[in-house]
Structure 1
Amino acid sequence: MDALEYLRSLGGVARTAALLRAGASKREVAALAALGVKPARGIIALPDCNPDYLFALVHNGLLTCGSAARAHGLWIRDVPLRRHLAVAHSRVTVFTAHRTLRFPAHGTLPIASLEDTVLHALGCLPLSEAVSMAECAIRGGQVDRGMLEDLLRGPRSARARRALSLATATAESQPEVEARLLFVARGWRVQVQARIPGVGRVDLLIEGLVIVEIDGHAFHADRAAFVEDRRRQNEALRQGYPTLRYPPEVVWRDPDRLLRDVEELLRIWGPRRFGG
């Protein structure tokens, strides 16, 4: 085993005991210590190590909640500035602590399980981030909704249950989740990934009338996609479905504009479509 490469595979930081268990000799561990620093007793860190992993090991915890979202490939817009750790101790001053772990942690990295990460997020993060993480995990088949529901039956889990109830497992991106939550909060009926004959599937259909599409960075990657998109949009309009398109930045930075635009189209097109 190449001890240096193994340490790099761990993000450049590890406990000496973990290196020894993996097969590194005491001499190799000493050589690694000479290459880096020892930020705490029993921990070796290379100068370019992962700072989140280092923080977790120094504080004898596991990254979880929003701090572990990207490690698990879960949707999150803003990783919390204050790190979230699962810890057994109560000496908390510089991070947000989570003290319940129900599943085995990652085998080699200081990261809580995906299941615990989602459970912690549901009861902790702002609604849009909590729903986005749960939506991604459930949609990807990484976690079972029924299992989450069973574990959130307690009286202290009301907030988490509400967030979970808003995860539809149908969205294709985090901005789409956030836009849907904006519309639901306004009291509008929202259909996700609705199918319209002759048009196909659309991201969001508001009050059975207004189509909202959230375009990703790969939008119109080629000419054929551009032509097809214009056909779909024209056909939707011909059938009486006006379409609004937005990049993620509008959802994140100017949600009031998004709501105003939809509200105006509902006001203008509602009487035309439904009478009145």
Structure 2
Amino acid sequence: MDINEFLRSRHGAARTETLRKAGFTKRALAKAVNDGAVARLHRGVYTSADADPDVVAAFRADGLLTCVSAARFYGLWTLGGAEEVHLSCSTGLARRRVVHHGARLHPDHPYLPVAGVADVLIHALRCLPELDALVMVQSAVSLALLSTDFLRSKLPGNRNGRIRETLDLVLPRADSLLEVLAHTHFTKAGLKVQMHVDVPEVGEVDCLVNECLIVEIDGGTHLEGKQVKKDQYRNNAAMRGGLLSLHYYYADVVHHPERMVAEVLTVLRKREAGRFAPARYAPGWVPPS
């Protein structure tokens, strides 16, 4: 493996110590720099031309990526990137366009300048808006990287009360960030929400709201022809079983949750008022079964 291949496996940057352990001699490193194959960021750190900017920023600040800036290195969901780099720096000194987080209490990433997943999530819970932190924690739990009980044990006391309330919103199972967001929005609106319910003749549905309204949270595959037909047949089966059905997409759940919740409440209120009850046609208008 040449030095650029090795650096690419480290997102484009590594310390001298790491490179030496991988078999690259001092002479080989000097030659790579002279040939322009790699650059020396500063004493003890080498980078490739295509190095990850966040990784480079971490090495330059002598810190570790954390919070939302570390999410992608663990495969965690996020609602968007950050303009600033979130770092835990050994010096704690403020830097331009850097959000500094506190000390780390758990093992760091084994070879990248990234904080350990436990510290990443604790920092996110203390730093980010509730929903942004929630989806990160939910994905970590879904990936079995840690548990909410573990995080609760690390967040004692009154000052962490709000954070522990966020952990209460984590689901035992969520197949996408849209599901956890929809569940949170419906729950906060005072609705009874059951996730991943097996409905007779319909199959598993994403949400069953107030035991009468199916809400499906559809991704891109639901726009494909075969899936559209399958969804329509599922809707028909739900109607035969006396259940109403609504469908929402990414933009609805992430960008317009208030409108989504308002529509759900409208349908539920109309059902309660009898607007979806059997029509008062003359007897015999509908043939007997």
Q: Same fold (TM over 0.5)?
A: yes
CA distance in 1, matches of 2:32, 2:207: 53
1:249/1:179 CA distance change after superposition, 3 Å = same
Match of 1:194 in 2: 197
Rg larger in 1 or in 2?
Answer: 2
1:184 maps to which residue? 187
C-alpha displacement at 1:234, in angstroms? 1.0
The CA distance in 1 between the partners of 2:168 and 2:194, in whole Å, is 15
Q: How many residues align?
A: 274
For 1:273 and 1:136, the matched residues in 2 are separated by 39
CA 1:21/1:221 → structure 2, altered by over 3 Å: closer, same or farther? same
SS of the aligned residue for 1:69 comes to: helix
Which residue of structure 2 lines up, in the alignment, with residue 247 of structure 1? 249
Alignment of 1:30-45 (within 5 A): 30-34=30-34, 35=36, 36-45=38-47
Once the two structures are superposed, the pairs formed by residues 230-269 of structure 1 within 5 Å of their partners are 230-269=232-271
* Residue in 2 that maps onto 1:17: 17
TM-score in terms of structure 1 length: 0.91
- How far 1:63 sits from its partner (Å)? 0.9
Structure 1: gaps of 5 or more residues = none
Q: TM-score, normalised by structure 2?
A: 0.87
What is the rounded CA distance, in whole Å, between the counterparts of 2:144 and 2:160 in structure 1? 23
Match for 2:213: what amino acid? Answer: V
TM-aligned CA distance change 1:103 to 1:154, over 3 Å = same
CA contact (8 A) 2:4 2:48 kept: no
Quote the residue 2:58 is aligned against. Answer: 56
Aligned twin of 2:281: none
Is this contact kept in 1: 2:270–2:276, CA < 8 A?
no
Distance, in Å, in 2 between the alignment partners of 1:72 and 1:122 is 16
Residue identity over aligned pairs, in percent, reads 35
CA–CA separation in structure 1 for the residues paired with 2:94 and 2:32: 30
**1:214-233 deviations in Å (ceiling 9; x for gaps):** 1112225562x443322211
Aligned to 2:129: 126
Q: Distance in 1 between matches of 2:190 and 2:158?
A: 27
Larger displacement relative to structure 2 (167-176 or 15-24): 15-24
Cα offset, 1:60, TM superposition: 1.0
CA distances 1:194-240 after superposition (whole Å, capped 9, x unpaired): 222222221112222222111112225562x4433222111112223
2:180 aligned with 1:168: no
RMSD: 2.1
Provide the C-alpha distance between the structure 2 equivalents of 1:159 and 1:84, rounded to a whole number of angstroms: 22
Q: Give runs of aligned pairs for residues 222-233 of structure 1, distance below 5 A.
A: 223=226, 225-233=227-235
